[in-house]
Structure 1
Amino acid sequence: MSDAEPANGFVSLVSAGPGDPELLTLKAVSRLAQADVILFDDLASGPVLDHANPDAELIAVGKRAGRPSARQEHVNMQLVSQARAGRRVVRLKSGDSGIFGRLEEELIALTEAGIPFEIIPGVTSASAAAAAAGIPLTRRLTARRVQFVTGADVTGHLPEDINWAALADPHVTTVVFMGQRSFPKLAEGLRAHGLPGDTPALFAEAVGHPHQRLLRTTIDELARMMRDITVVQPGLILYGPLVLKGYGNT
C-alpha cells in the first residue's frame, strides 16, 4: 500500500453515561485520551470531554428534538471518512449507546465500509436516575421485570404499535425514554388498560448533570404536568411500584 493510501483507522463507539464524568468507565476514559478525532453528541459533552486528548479534533454531531441537528447519514459518512484517513475515531454518545442511541445505523455503515470498530458500554440514564432517586429497578416479589421503552417514534409522536398489556403491568418498573411530549397520551392508554392513575411515577430531568431534577408523583399528576410543558432539558419517566419512595437521604 502506498503512502497515499493509508490503512484504515479504528472507531470506538463510546458510551459516555448520563453526563457525570465520574460515571465514565475506565475504558471510555482511555479511548478519549487516545483519540485523534471525537464525534460527540451534545448530551455527551461538557466535563466528559475534559478527558479527551488535548490534540484531538472535536466535532459536534448531536441530535436534539426541535433543534437543528446533524443528519444520521452525515454522521455515518464522517465516521467512515475519518477512519479511512487512518485516524483513531471516538464516536461519543450519551448514556449507553445501545439503548435508543441509533447505534445500529452506525454499525451498519462501518461494517459495509470494512472499518474495524469496538463498542464500549456505559451507564444508562435509567440506572443513573434510579440510583439518584434511591430506588432499585427491580424487586423479587414486587417488580419482577424492568422494561425500557421509547415514548416517541420517528415522527416524534407516541408509537402506534404499543404492547399495552406489558406497559400496564402493575408488577413492572417501566422506563420511558423521550416521552415528555407523549406522556399524557401514554398515561391515558395505561389507565384504559387497567393501570391505576395513582401508580407512582418519577420524572428525572438532566440526570447526571449539576442541575438534575427529580420529581416523585403519580402517572395522573405527571400527565397533567406534561400537557403544557416545554421540553428544554433531556428527561425520562419511570413508573411502577418501586418509584413510591427512595431509601437513604434521597
Structure 2
Amino acid sequence: MATLLDPTARGRVILVGAGPGDPELLTVRAVKALGQADIVVHDGLIDPRVLDLAPATAPRISVAKRRARHTLPQDAINALIVAHVKTGAIVVRLKGGDPFIFGRGGEEVEAVRAAGLPVEVIPGISAALGAAAEAMLPLTHRDHSSAVSFVAGQCKGLSEQDWSGLAGQGRTLVIYMGVATATEIADKLIADGVAPDMPVAVLERGTCPGARALKTLLADLGPMVEREKVCSPAVLVVGEVVELSDAQDRLARWARAVEEVHA
C-alpha cells in the first residue's frame, strides 16, 4: 500500500492550502505537491497562476462553492476525491487559505481515511493572516490585544452562536464569510456588549489584484459594506488593533500599482 513516506507512491490525496490568493505566498511544499499532481480538485477562488503550477496533463476539476449554491455538495466532493485516488492517481485537493480553517479539510481527511487511503495535509497561509499582513494590521499587539479568535459569519443559527467574550477591549475577533451578514453581525456584537464605536476593518480580496482595506466603526459596519459595495471574499476584523493599520491609504496605493502592472 502507498505510504506518505514514499514520495513516488501512487493513489493518495495531498490536501494543499493555496493561501489567500497571491501565488507567491504558496509554501515550497505546496508547489512541489502541485508538480506531482495527476488530478487537481480545486475551490473556485484559486488564482489561475496557482493552477498553472500543476502539470499541463493534469485535469483541473472545479468544485466551487458560492453562498447558497454549491457546484457539488460536500459528500459528493468527498466521493469524487476517493474515486480518483482508487484509480491510483495522486489527487491534489487545492483549497484557498488553509485547509483546516473553515475549509472543510477535516471532513475530507475523514472521508479519505474512512476509505482506507493515504492522505497528507500541507498548510497554507489563511486568508485573515495574509490580508492582515498586507494591510499592516497586527491581529495581536502587546499594547492592544492579547487574544485573537476566528469565527464564521455565514453559518446556521448565526444569532444563536455564542460569541460573548470574543471581541472587546484587549481582544481581536476575525470573521470569515461575514459580508452578507455584516448588519446582523454588528447587531449581535453590540447586543453582547461590544462598544458601537469599536473599530472594524473589512479586508476585501486580500493579496489579490483589486484588494481593498476599509475602516469603520462597528455601528456603521452594515451600512459601510452596502455603501462601498463590498464583495466576497473578505474578512472582518473587530478590535482596537484596527487603529494601528494604515490600511486604506496603503492598500489604495498598492491596488493602483497592481493595476498598472497588469494594464
Aligned to 1:11: 13
Unaligned runs of 5+ in 2: 2-8, 251-263
Instruction: Determine the C-alpha separation between the residues in 2 that align with 1:88 and 1:205.
Output: 33
| Amino acid across the alignment from 1:70 | L
Instruction: Determine the C-alpha separation between the residues in 2 that align with 1:82 and 1:64.
Output: 24
Deviation per CA, 1:42-74: give whole Å up to 9, x if none.
112422112111111111111111445221111
Decide whether aligned partners of structure 1 residues 228 and 70 sit closer, same or farther in structure 2, where only a CA change above 3 A counts. farther
* Structure 1 residue 82: Cα displacement: 0.6
| Range 47-56 or range 63-72, more displaced | 63-72
| Amino acid across the alignment from 2:214 | L
Q: CA RMSD in A?
A: 2.1
Aligned to 2:148: 146
| Amino acid across the alignment from 2:202 | F
TM (norm. structure 2) is 0.85
Deviation per CA, 1:73-113: give whole Å up to 9, x if none.
11101110111000011000000110001112111110110
Instruction: Determine the C-alpha separation between the residues in 1 that align with 2:159 and 2:204.
Output: 22
Instruction: Determine the C-alpha separation between the residues in 2 that align with 1:220 and 1:129.
Output: 23
Instruction: Determine the C-alpha separation between the residues in 1 that align with 2:48 and 2:158.
Output: 31
Question: In percent, how many aligned pairs have the same letter?
Answer: 40
Decide whether aligned partners of structure 1 residues 247 and 236 sit closer, same or farther in structure 2, where only a CA change above 3 A counts. closer
Aligned to 2:67: 65
Unaligned runs of 5+ in 1: 2-6
* Structure 1 residue 121: Cα displacement: 0.2
* Structure 1 residue 161: Cα displacement: 2.6
Q: Secondary structure at the match of 1:17?
A: coil
Instruction: Determine the C-alpha separation between the residues in 1 that align with 2:159 and 2:84.
Output: 35
1:100 is aligned, of 102, 121, 142, to 102
Number of residue pairs matched? 242
| Range 84-93 or range 100-109, more displaced | 100-109
TM (norm. structure 1) is 0.90
Instruction: Determine the C-alpha separation between the residues in 1 that align with 2:185 and 2:195.
Output: 13
* Structure 1 residue 163: Cα displacement: 2.8
